[in-house]
Amino acid sequence: MATCVMMKNSIFLIIFACLWTCHDARDTLAPGDTLDSSSSLESASAKFTLSFVDQRNSNFKYLAIRRNKYNPNKAWIGNRNRPISSSSSPLLTLDSNYTLKITQTGEDPIVICSAPQTSNSTSSGVVATLLDSGNLVLQEMNGSRVFWQSFDYPGDTSLPGMKLGVNHSDGHIWSLVSYVDTYNPALGPFSLVWDPNEHELKINKSGVVYWTSGVLRSDGTFEFILPNVSKQRYNFSIVSNENYGYLTYTAVGDQSLQPEWVLYSSGILQEYEGQMNIVQAQNCDGYDTDGGCVRRFQSTKSSGTKIADKWVWIGTSIAAALVLCTAYYLLRRRRSALPSAGENRTEIENEMLIFMKSN
């Protein structure tokens, strides 16, 4: 019995030691380092990973940042519009010129970002690090300057801490853009943007606004973002000055339930694997304003058109019925008077004339 327990313990120890030492995950690429399609970067506390991922139902690979869990969402994609053939062996490299890029044989490199190489501020070296927030940053080795960060280039997903809005200094816009369809992450029809003047989130489809959130109320909720849920789930903060106008959210309460807002190609804004849709812009047909939908068509015109349509339909039906009845009547008359055909024809013609006049 005792030996059994001892054996069990030692097995655990061995497994634990192996996990500890075999775990060579790194969170940083230094100049000259590469990531191939079977390796990954892992953030310091293993919350997020960066790796090449095969896209389901397609023949392509994407460089993606994903939460370290079962069936994760692609929170960020480095090559949305430049899919990599799943048969190719891409490499992510931070080269000696401080350029982070994807290379593959027979294709032009996909440049993700680069740091200025001649400035003295980079004399201490530049590294690319995946942070526990899910943010990939290209920064000075000692961390004092950030040259680029994935949080500034969202895909269809907003993680806590990401911005939605505008940097007035350089015009940069932080927004979400949906996939083209379920499996194609190229830029699709729906966008989620923050309007820094009206202080509202908006979903637009091909530039036409379908939905607005309403303004942030004093109780910390938006009128059209799950009022009873958002207060317990999200802590919104708005920054608005001459340099920036943006919104961020953090998660409140159970920190194991870290939300990811995803704008789907159907127009739904949903928490990834969440029970509820945050917004359903695809239900915004342009006629009503329920749930923050924007009216794009005049509803009076719509009901007017509907009534007109109804009368056209009724009119057509009555006319069709009349024609059928007349045809039937004439046919019967003609049949019953077959023997004297010549006389009958004029009779029919006369009756038709009378009928047409009466009409």
Ligand X SMILES: *[C@@H]1O[C@H](CO)[C@@H](O)[C@H](O)[C@H]1NC(C)=O
Hey, how many other C-beta atoms are within 10 angstroms of the C-beta on 229? 15
Contact indicator for 134, 48 with CB cutoff of 8 Å: yes
Instruction: Please say which residue, 37 or 212, places its beta carbon nearer to ligand X.
Output: 212
Instruction: Please say which residue, 228 or 300, places its beta carbon nearer to ligand X.
Output: 228
Instruction: Please say which residue, 69 or 296, places its beta carbon nearer to ligand X.
Output: 296
Minimum CB separation of residue 21 from ligand X in Å reads: 31
Minimum CB separation of residue 327 from ligand X in Å reads: 56
d(CA 135, CA 65) in angstroms, rounded, equals 8
Minimum CB separation of residue 170 from ligand X in Å reads: 4
* Burial status of residue 26 (CB atoms within 10 A of its CB: 0-12, 13-18, 19 or more): middle
Instruction: Please say which residue, 27 or 140, places its beta carbon nearer to ligand X.
Output: 140
Minimum CB separation of residue 274 from ligand X in Å reads: 16
d(CA 263, CA 191) in angstroms, rounded, equals 8
Residues near ligand X (CB under 6 A) are 95-97, 119-121, 123-124, 140, 142, 144, 167, 169-170, 173, 175, 191, 193, 202, 204, 207, 209, 227-228, 235, 237, 244, 252
Angle at 133 between CA 130 and CA 137, to 5 degrees: 35
Instruction: Please say which residue, 42 or 200, places its beta carbon nearer to ligand X.
Output: 200
Minimum CB separation of residue 358 from ligand X in Å reads: 58
Contact indicator for 145, 121 with CB cutoff of 8 Å: yes
Instruction: Please say which residue, 81 or 350, places its beta carbon nearer to ligand X.
Output: 81
Minimum CB separation of residue 242 from ligand X in Å reads: 11
The single-letter DSSP state of residue 151 is G
* Burial status of residue 16 (CB atoms within 10 A of its CB: 0-12, 13-18, 19 or more): exposed
3 membership: H or E segment, kind and range? helix 2-22
Write phi, then psi, for 149 (nearest 5 degrees): -150, 145
d(CA 88, CA 108) in angstroms, rounded, equals 13
Instruction: Please say which residue, 95 or 347, places its beta carbon nearer to ligand X.
Output: 95
Pick the closest to residue 230 from 198, 194, 201, 195 (CA basis).
201
Minimum CB separation of residue 324 from ligand X in Å reads: 53
